[in-house]
Amino acid sequence: MQLRVRALETVLTEKGYVDPAALDLLIETYETKIGPRNGARVVARAWVDADYRARLFRDATPAIAELGYAGRQGEHIVALENTPEVHNMVVCTLCSCYPWPVLGLPPVWYKSAPYRSRAVADPRGVLAEFGVTLPPETEIRVWDSTSEIRYLVVPMRPAGTDGWSEERLAALVTRDSMIGTGLPKSPADLTR
């Protein structure tokens, strides 16, 4: 693949269709600037700021843009609220739709056949493979990203974090907790 991709890049560069410096910049952006730390900041803000939380669930796209995150594969974002009664989980069975501005590029498992085939039909079984066991009475809502709407799960704030700063809270927010295949870390996890 390395040779095939390099050959095509050479052809496209020689023809003047691409500027390799723009390619470098695209790669650098998704390797270093756009990733799940962005989403973690959004969630932490929603945990500490009730007004922000209300704006986020009313219309997530502008609320997320307040923190500077917007654009490609996040043009229309909907935030999903996890509660003791309802757990949300996001998949794209048809391809790999994922909210890039807040979570970065999707991990391989999210794009893989096992996850895409089973998240909709056996969500509890999939969660168990991620080590997440919910009470049997908890309702699971799976969101299949079939349009340009991108879903961001806002997990519940962990117990024992009263008075924590936004920065400290953001460190508890994992990527998987914002997809719905994980839960946030607990304060004890941080010291482990």
Residues in 86-115 at the binding interface with other proteins, rule: CB under 8 A: 93-96, 104-105, 107-109, 111-115
Helix H or strand E segment including 115: helix 113-118
Pull the structure tokens for residue 53: 């939380």
User: Residue 97 catalytic?
Assistant: yes
Site for other proteins in 13-32 (CB under 8 A): 14-19, 21-27, 29-31
State which residue, 44 or 126, has the beta carbon closest to other proteins.
126
For residue 84, state whether it binds other proteins (rule: CB under 8 A).
no
For residue 191, state whether it binds other proteins (rule: CB under 8 A).
no
User: Residue 96 catalytic?
Assistant: yes
d(CA 64, CA 45): 10
State which residue, 31 or 66, has the beta carbon closest to other proteins.
31
Site for other proteins in 119-158 (CB under 8 A): 119-124, 126, 129-130, 136-149
Pull the structure tokens for residue 138: 């908890």
Site for other proteins in 25-64 (CB under 8 A): 25-27, 29-31, 34-35
Determine whether 169 is exposed, middle or buried from the number of CB atoms within 10 Å of its CB (0-12, 13-18, 19+). Answer: buried
User: Residue 95 catalytic?
Assistant: yes
For residue 6, state whether it binds other proteins (rule: CB under 8 A).
yes
Instruction: Using CB under 8 A, pick the residue from 49, 54, 66, 71 that binds other proteins.
Output: 71
Nearest to 151 by CA among 110, 113, 117: 110
Pull the structure tokens for residue 177: 């907790």
Q: CA angle at residue 70 from 67 to 76, to 5 degrees? A: 120
Instruction: Using CB under 8 A, pick the residue from 74, 99, 155, 180 that binds other proteins.
Output: 74
Contacts of 53 (CB under 8 A, 6+ apart): 45, 46, 47
d(CA 152, CA 43): 9
What minimum distance in Å lies between the beta carbon of 174 and other proteins?
Answer: 11
User: Residue 186 catalytic?
Assistant: no
For residue 83, state whether it binds other proteins (rule: CB under 8 A).
no
Site for other proteins in 169-188 (CB under 8 A): 176
Reported residue count of the chain is 192
Positions annotated as catalytic residues are 92, 95-97
